[in-house]
Chain A
Amino acid sequence: MGIGKETKDIFKNTGLHFRTGVSYMLPVLLIGGFFGSIAVLGKTSDAEIWKLFKIIGDIGLKYFVPVMAAYVAFSITDTPGIAPGFIIGILAQETDSGGYLGALVGGILVGYFTFLALKVKVPEMLESSWGMLAPVFSTLLVSILIFFFIGPPIAHLMKTISTYLQSIGNGGNASMGAIMGFFGGIDYGGPFSKTQSTFATAVTNLKLYTPLGIAGAIITVPPLGLCLATILNPKLYTKTEKNYAKSSWIYAVVAGFTEIAIPLAAGDIIRCTIATICGCMITGTLAGYFSLELYTPVLGIPQWFFYNKPLVYLCILIPGILTTALVVNFLKKISKRNIEEMEKEEKD
């Protein structure tokens, strides 16, 4: 494989690298979030142990950024990417060079340049130590890029977004919720939903937690709505779909994944998507209107502990889920699918 093709592969798979980074980042956040919320319980006490919990919480909630950058680089170029990734990630975070987004871009770049540097043919004398030296050069190059050229515009953009989001108030939050709900409901955890949730995670870096609250609230609407729909009117669904719904709604509650809806929606994508968009927009709008804030990007049951208003969260889920279920059943009713034929096909 030529360098050109491999380069193309790396950038074509940006999504894969990003998800790998997030996958390694989540445990860090979870530990940080867990200790952070324990520390809140012991606020009034003076004991040293609560201070320790607070410190661990702060570490977790701060250093998830470099961990993400490191493992984005790891995904691109394997182990040599980890060290430069950490350093670039910390650089982006500590020096006001774009925070989370800067670290993400930095992680991709440093991974790629380390990969390139390792490809360079060096004199035999250097060959054995090149594995150690290559990351040094890629770090040098990317740190300059991030610090002087890429970081400042990203930081500026984030600041603009931050000032804007702080100024829009409840009505503005509600319309932001509607827009995020639209993107969250449109492709079941695909590129649009991920853009929306990446944005929400990125602005937590600016101490803005409402977008993440919105993103967190709409996640479980599509799967739970579609599962509920199969129970409300079983006649409209095939046996496989009903069984799947019965066994998978619990995954949606425990782990909080939109993607669980995919098998239910796959047979009938247009009608289901219209329904999930409606449901997500309603939940999103309400979440924005009530300024629901989520302090840590976690999914599923752990979410309940990090909302500022857990009760509001549960209350706004219900209209979204109900809307999804009712709309999808209504659409399926006015234009019937041939259930018998589909069941026959499944048996074959």
Chain B
Amino acid sequence: MKISLITACLAGVAHSKMAAVAIKKEALLRGIEIDVEEQGGHKIPVRLTQEQINASDLVIIAKAVSISGKERLAGKKILDVTVSFALRNPKTVLDQAIELINKK
């Protein structure tokens, strides 16, 4: 199983980072492969490539602001949550993600 994660917050300094860390940790615990992109304040240090997105079963978007580069996600399964929810409940987010992947 492979998941892409895009987090976005106001300044791209605290929230996006913290949510990314929380979800990544939880995903690694469960043995799920995960690629992370953090956005906010114009900063996209690691940009997910089209190949990475195509290869993943699902894209999780944890956002407090609109994300850029939406066109890359066309046709993918998307789980849309707020960044503060993802930060507090990484378990619930991944549960939902797995449920969504298994639902055909």
Contact = CB atoms under 8 A, between A and B. Distances in A.
Interface string B34-70: 0000001110000000000000000000011110001
Contact of A255 (B14, B42, B84, B88): B14
A305 interface: no
Contact of A22 (B10, B13, B84, B88): B10
A132 interface: no
B65 A16 contact: yes
B66 A259 contact: no
B11 interface: yes
Interface in B19-35: none
A26 B88 contact: no
Contacts of A299: 11
A199 B63 CA distance: 24
B88 A263 contact: yes
A27 B88 contact: no
A22 B40 CA distance: 10
Interface in A223-271: 248, 251, 254-255, 257, 259-260, 262-263, 266
Interface string B77-99: 00000001001100000000000
A115 to B, nearest CB: 13
B101 interface: no
Given A26-B10, A254-B13, A259 B84 contact: yes
A235 B2 CA distance: 40
Interface string A20-59: 1011101100000000000000000000000000000000
B88 A266 contact: yes
Query: Number of contact residues on A: which range applies?
Result: 20 to 34
Interface residues of B, number: 19
Nearest to B82: A16
Contact of A257 (B15, B41, B42, B70): B15
Q: Which of B14, B70, B84 has the most CB of A within 10 A?
A: B14
Nearest to B83: A259
A262 B88 contact: yes
A230 to B, nearest CB: 17
A300 B14 CA distance: 11
Q: Which of B9, B18, B65 has the most CB of A within 10 A?
A: B65
Given A23-B40, A262-B84, A263-B87, A17 B66 contact: yes
Q: Which of B12, B18, B70 has the most CB of A within 10 A?
A: B18
A74 B65 CA distance: 11
Contact of A16 (B14, B41, B66): B66
A62 interface: no
A213 to B, nearest CB: 20
B15 A75 contact: no
Contact of B11 (A16, A26, A75, A260): A26
Given A16-B64, A19-B64, A24 B13 contact: no
B66 A251 contact: no
Contact of A251 (B18, B42, B65, B84): B18
B13 to A, nearest CB: 4
Nearest to A254: B13
Nearest to A71: B66
A300 B11 CA distance: 11
Interface of A: 16-17, 19-20, 22-24, 26-27, 74-75, 78, 248, 251, 254-255, 257, 259-260, 262-263, 266, 299-300
22 contacts: A16-B64, A19-B10, A20-B65, A22-B65, A23-B9, A23-B10, A23-B12, A23-B65, A26-B10, A27-B41, A27-B42, A251-B13, A251-B14, A254-B13, A257-B15, A259-B14, A259-B84, A260-B14, A260-B18, A262-B84, A262-B87, A263-B88
